[in-house]
Amino acid sequence: MKKLLTLLLVFGLAAIFNAQGMHDGGGMHDDWANDDTLTTVSVSGTAIVDSSMMNPMYYIDEDGDGTADYHLNFGPYWYQPDSSNAVRPNNGDAVTIIGGVEKDNDMSIKSIIVYEVNGEFWRDPMIPSWNNMGGHSHMGGHHGDNCKGFTSIRMGK
């Protein structure tokens, strides 16, 4: 019985330390899409929009051969920046994208996390708050005690 309690205590402490170490403030873990794993690029070309999915998938043909060179990651399908006039491109539009591309990526096509579209702000490269929805790793955008200014509701009061 003493061995079982010791084992449970060790695993419990390991779980606590591991969970605390995973919170990086940006909501991304395992080095996926953290700012230090991205290289900022500027790419111009023709937009390719695949509307065969439930939500459109966006690509860019940089060299004019009709084949997608990068996948464009604009964030959630519903997101529209509230501080600029940027819009997602239509199929065939000439577009210039500034964004972050992963340095090492095992996918067949690299993905650019979009920061600017045709010179217009799309999202902050360091804080992808999607108009304050779900920022700071609190899923669903619900914050108690006015955490980062997202809500003024005080929990348990």
Q: Of the ranges 7-21, 59-73, 122-136, 140-154, which one carries the lowest mean pLDDT score?
A: 140-154
Residues 117 and 47 in one domain: yes
> Which one has a higher pLDDT value, 5 or 139?
5
The answer to whether residues 76 and 151 belong to one domain is no
Question: Are 84 and 138 found together in one domain?
Answer: no
Residue 1 has pLDDT above 70, yes or no: yes
> Could you tell me if 63 and 140 lie in one domain?
no
pLDDT reported for residue 31:
39
Average pLDDT over residues 117-146: 64
15 within domain boundaries:
no
Q: Are residues 114 and 147 in the same domain?
A: no
What is the pLDDT confidence band of residue 14, given thresholds at 50, 70 and 90? Answer: low
Please report whether residue 114 resides in a domain: yes
Tell whether the model's pLDDT for residue 104 goes beyond 70.
no
23 belongs to a structural domain: no
Residues 86 and 154 in one domain: no
More confident residue, 30 or 47: 47
Instruction: Residue 149: give the domain boundaries.
Output: 127-157
pLDDT of residue 149: 38
Asked if 66 and 102 sit in the same domain, the reply is: yes
Model pLDDT, residue 15: 61
Q: Indicate if 99 and 46 belong to the same structural domain.
A: yes
Q: Which distant-in-sequence residues (6+ apart) come within 8 Å of 104 by Cβ?
A: 37
Judge contact between 60 and 92, C-beta under 8 A: no
Residue 50 is given by DSSP the state: E
- Does residue 44 form part of some domain? yes
Is the per-residue pLDDT at 96 higher than 80?
Answer: yes
pTM for the whole structure: 0.62
Q: Which of 50, 48, 89, 42 is nearest to 65 (CA)?
A: 48
Most confident of 19-23, 57-61, 99-103, 129-133: 57-61
Q: What integer pLDDT is reported at residue 28 of this predicted model?
A: 43
Pull the structure tokens for residue 62: 């940089």
Q: Do 87 and 140 have their domain in common?
A: no
Of 38, 57, 62, which Cα lies nearest the Cα of 123? 38
Q: Are residues 80 and 149 located together in one domain of the fold?
A: no
Query: Does 114 lie in the same domain as 42?
Result: yes
- Average of pLDDT values for 116-137? 75
Q: What is the CATH number of the domain that holds 67?
A: 2.40.50
Count of domains for the chain: 2
